[in-house]
Chain A
């Protein structure tokens, strides 16, 4: 008796905490269909007008463009830089390997605010660089450690003898990499890509320091929340949640959720 009570208490507690975590998202979902231009809960009636308004709000259109640009470009660059680095760390024993390993992970240890102001000062020193380019570099810095970590984990899970066998059979190193390694860790790479895109897309604090005339989507949402009082942000938020669920689904399929966080 007491044991089953214990179980249900734990269950209730778990449910309560999960509800606390999910509630902000759920209420936003409900508000987004509100018929009136207020954020009152419960909603007064059903309407999809705010979803249309998301696409009519210029700052969201600019924000989406900017965020998509940043996320795709910076994750592409991070993959291009991170995969070779991960290969070197896993496949080679060389002088300074540990130092390189630490160095590549360094951005994880820099607080985001500090990273933001550091890149702002860097951009001011290199005064000819454009705002968007600085943001791309910042986002690459944020994403690179995760990419390297995920790719390293994938490479470690793969048998290096397969590459060696291919090279013994006459394949050149590049051939061996693209024909053997890439297909074998391919899904891991896809997962890393999705993760990188998500990390870049949602970055706020560091990005805020470098915002010029074109805010990213989270910054545009922040400005809208501080100034407007209608459910357009709720609709935007719901759309972004759907995109997030899609990202989770893709990552589950491609890398397995558990490997992402361990």
Chain B
């Protein structure tokens, strides 16, 4: 009897902790069905408001777009780094890059954005260089706009992307590439037809993580957007905290939760399907 109850006793405290989150999530759901103006009956008016008001819809479509672009750029920039460190780098270099990546991964996000302000600002590093070299007559606007936010997002998710990619690249079976080379395939074809497909699980994992992180971003639009770049997290914070409109904030949070869930589900299914096809 005791032995049978043992595992349940062991997991119970952890489950109790998680249950607070579930209670919180159900309050979010509860608040999101409130009609506002004191009516007690559950209503879908908040969701309707989010769906029909162009101003709110924009927060969602724009965030999704920003998240997609930043994830794509991070993939393009991150892949060569992961590839280099796993395939070409010496063990010593590899360790060094890895430690650097981890330091980046663990460094404070807010302070990283602060560094970007110093780089992208009007009297920042890039503008100084551009004007010093005669590439620009007047300072370029590199932040407080969409570009600045995209740079911030990419810089924030790159470590996650690279660390997701280098796992699969490290496990690549080099004999497959060698076989293809022996059969006379040029390097770019080997890369496209052999290496890249083998990396797809890592690409999916990295894309999922990066996309969700970007989608949730709050600090980046606040510090680098100058009030012009709308992202979901800012909407939720504004409504729930600054404007004390908890029903609308909760509904927006509910929609964000659904979107994240859909992204996770979709990409996991894609990964599974791909793996099945590959095994066949």
Task: Report if A and B touch in the complex (beta carbons < 8 A).
Answer: yes
CB within 8 Å of B: which residues of A? 6-7, 10-11, 13-14, 17-18, 20-28, 31, 39-41, 77, 80-82, 84-85, 87-89, 91-92, 94, 97, 100, 103-104, 106-107, 109-115, 117-122, 125, 137, 140-141, 144, 148, 198, 202, 204-205, 208-209, 218, 221-222, 225-226, 233-234, 236-237, 240-241, 244-245, 247-248, 251-252, 257-258, 260-262
Q: Is the CB of A225 within 8 A of B223?
A: yes
CA distance A163 to B233 in the complex (A): 48
CB within 8 Å of A: which residues of B? 4, 6-11, 13-15, 17-18, 20-21, 23-25, 27-28, 31, 77-78, 80-81, 83-85, 88, 97-104, 106-119, 121, 123-125, 128, 155, 158-159, 163, 167, 187, 212, 215-219, 222-223, 232-233, 236-237, 240-241, 246, 249-250, 253-254, 256-257, 260-261, 264
CA distance A109 to B257 in the complex (A): 9
CA distance A246 to B210 in the complex (A): 26
CA distance A221 to B8 in the complex (A): 42
Q: Is the CB of B167 within 8 A of A262?
A: yes
Q: A111-B216, A113-B218, A115-B21 are in contact. Are A84 and B114 (CB under 8 A)?
A: no
Q: Is the CB of A248 within 8 A of B246?
A: no
Q: A20-B155, A84-B10 are in contact. Are A27 and B112 (CB under 8 A)?
A: no
Secondary structure of the B contact surface, majority rule:
helix
Q: Is the CB of B24 within 8 A of A119?
A: yes
**Shortest distance in angstroms between B172's beta carbon and chain A's nearest beta carbon?**
15
CA distance A202 to B80 in the complex (A): 28
**Shortest distance in angstroms between A139's beta carbon and chain B's nearest beta carbon?**
11
**Shortest distance in angstroms between A243's beta carbon and chain B's nearest beta carbon?**
9
For A109, the chain B residues whose CB sits under 8 A away are: 260-261, 264
Q: Is the CB of B15 within 8 A of A103?
A: yes
Q: Is the CB of B158 within 8 A of A88?
A: no
Q: Is the CB of A111 within 8 A of B212?
A: yes
Which 8 pairs of residues, A with B, have the shortest CB-CB distance?
Answer: A24-B115, A118-B24, A122-B24, A121-B27, A92-B7, A88-B10, A84-B10, A85-B14
Q: Is the CB of B17 within 8 A of A205?
A: no
